Amino acid sequence: MLGPQLIILVIQAIFSGITTGPGTVAFYDPTQGGGSMLDNAGSGGGEPMNVIISGLSSPQVLTDEGILHYAQAIGFSFECLGFHLGDPQSANLGDGNGWVNQTMELRQDYGNDEIGTCLESLIGGNHFRVYRQNGTAANSGALFLAVSQEEDVEEGHQIIPDGYNIGRDKLVANALGVNTHEDVTYSTVGQNITGLLAPGSVGVNHGIATDGMTVLLTVTMI
């Protein structure tokens, strides 16, 4: 069953036209185009994409540079010294692009957006992968984030118990309201959406159950 909020968003998508492009709809449900709200973690399971940056956000935020700057405003930054460890994960957002590798991975920066993520790599913390919905079949421009809280390096950066819900909630708590980074100010509002992710652990990486909630964030530069 689709949740009432999701039904409204689907109706909006239908009336705005599936090929209208970024800036006209918040997002398209990946499952309606043969995609999934779980990415492919390469281990037989997937990580839930539990936060969406709305396609109705300021266009600058939805670029690669823009999402990095916004992430830095809410406590995340690029990986330690720019190096990525581990294989990238992929997602199918139902936009006609099929399975596409993550655009980037950003980590909690512990108050320093230059080297703080090196600390996250050692002691663990929050992080997220970014996927962009921009195929010709569903070109919303929205960014789908797979957010999770992970263990330290000695635990192999495994996801902590309840780490998908915890990671999402921490990111959202940091994001809501007004944040500023390098003289750019962002106003963020959120909406909880049910019906995109199934609650439970079926198909979820590491068998970690989730509550099935996805948070839609609309970010406006002011």
Per-residue confidence (pLDDT) for residue 19, from 0 to 100: 47
Instruction: Domain ranges for the chain, please list them.
Output: 4-221
Residue 93 structure tokens: 């957002």
In eight-state DSSP terms, residue 18 is T
- Residue 91 contacts residue 103 (beta carbons within 8 Å): no
Q: For the chain, percent helix, then strand, then coil, each to nearest 5?
A: 25, 30, 45
Give percent of the chain with pLDDT exceeding 70: 86
**Phi, psi (5° rounding) for residue 111?**
90, 0
- Residue 222 contacts residue 186 (beta carbons within 8 Å): yes
pLDDT tens string 67-80: 999 999 999 999 88
pLDDT tens string 125-183: 999 999 999 999 999 999 999 999 988 765 556 899 999 999 999 999 999 999 999 99
Decide: pTM greater than 0.85.
Answer: yes
Per-residue confidence (pLDDT) for residue 11, from 0 to 100: 45
pLDDT tens string 84-119: 555 789 999 999 999 999 999 999 999 988 888 888
- Residue 107 contacts residue 148 (beta carbons within 8 Å): no
| CB neighbour class for 214 (10 Å; exposed up to 12, middle 13-18, buried from 19) | buried
